Amino acid sequence: MANSPLVNYTRLSPNHSGKRTCSISRITPHTVVGQLSVEHICDCFRDRIGQASCNYAIGADGRIGLCVDEHNRSWCSS
């Protein structure tokens, strides 16, 4: 698995379950309330207390951020 070449910003989160054991089979979209930059969205997932993560984030200006490498399983779905 490779990360998307469309990524403009990377800020990796420690919140993930480690290496994937299965191939990617679905996309789980979530909504962020507010007009946040990709930097701010990725910063939200850096905090272990929040216990949340995602693989990619899209900021208000359309830039794409990488929060969890694709070879790791984020906590956005189970």
Q: How much is the pLDDT for 37?
A: 95
Q: How much is the pLDDT for 78?
A: 63
C-beta separation of 78 from 10 below 8 A = no
Q: Which residue intervals of 1-78 are DSSP H helices?
A: 38-44
Q: How much is the pLDDT for 16?
A: 93
CA distance 63 to 48: 24
Q: How much is the pLDDT for 1?
A: 72
Burial of 56 (0-12, 13-18, 19+ CB in 10 A): buried
Q: How much is the pLDDT for 17?
A: 92
In the chain, what are the domain boundaries? 1-78
pLDDT in tens, the chain (78 residues): 789 999 999 999 999 999 988 888 888 888 888 899 999 999 988 888 878 899 999 999 999 999 999 999 998 876
Report the SS3 class of residue 19.
strand
Beta bridge partners of 62: none
